[in-house]
Structure 1
Amino acid sequence: MIMTTMETVPGKEIKAAVGVVTGSVVQSKHIGRDIMAGLKGIVGGELRGYTEMLTEARNTAVQRLVEEARMLGADAVVGIRFTTSTIMDGSSELLAYGTAVKLRT
């Protein structure tokens, strides 16, 4: 599956838009990560536990987006974007969305 944040696929012609596709995951904080983040906040630096958590969430959201695009028979997803929102204290949703398209062969 070709995925791009651009509105086109370089070197390919879009034959048809099949529909908007999404993938989301709601992730909650882990008490161990919170403790380490609190300690790191004292001395400064990257909060690697949170970085890893968000990378995992983003990968899961993209995987779900691709699965939805495949179910629609798409060859690619263009215009991929990411957004986040707070669901409740301590948890957030990461949403990936884009347009599933068929390419001219």
Structure 2
Amino acid sequence: MLVTTTENVTGYQVVEVKGQVFGVVVRSRGLAGNIMASLRSIFGGEITEYTQLLEEARRHAIDRMVKNATMMGANAIVMMRFDSAEIGQSMSEIVAYGTAVKLEKREG
């Protein structure tokens, strides 16, 4: 399935809008990860524990969004975006969302 942040896809046209689609993931870093991240924050630099957590959460959110769009009968998602929020002090919510559509190749 094509997932794009743009509204239009070169060479294709939207023939049907299926509707809004999203995928949600809520993740928590374990106690050991939080301790390591806290220690790293003292010295500065990238906190790889959180970077890995958020990269994985984004991938899972996209996977869930694609699954939902497939169930709606879409073959593409346009205008895809991410949103995120903190829940408490140790959890992150990641949402991937966009518009599920049916695309067809343009003639000529």
TM bucket normalised to smaller:
over 0.9
Deviations 1:26-67 (Å, cap 9, x if unpaired)? 111211111111221122111001000000100000000000
Name the residue aligned to 1:46. Answer: 46
> Alpha carbon RMSD of aligned pairs, Å?
1.1
Q: Give structure 2 stretches of 5+ with no counterpart.
A: none
Letter in 2 for 1:68: N
Identity among equivalent pairs (%):
46
Aligned residue runs from structure 1 range 1-105, under 5 A: 1-105=1-105
Deviating runs (4+, > 2 A) in structure 1?
A: 86-89
- TM-score between the two structures when normalised by the length of structure 1: 0.94
Q: Give structure 1 stretches of 5+ with no counterpart.
A: none
Count of residues in Structure 1 that have an aligned counterpart in Structure 2: 105
Secondary structure of 2:16's aligned partner: strand
How many Å apart are 1:86 and its aligned residue? 2.3
Structure 1, 49-58 or 8-17: larger mean CA deviation: 8-17
Secondary structure of 2:6's aligned partner: coil
Whole-angstrom distance in 2 between the partners of 1:39 and 1:95: 28
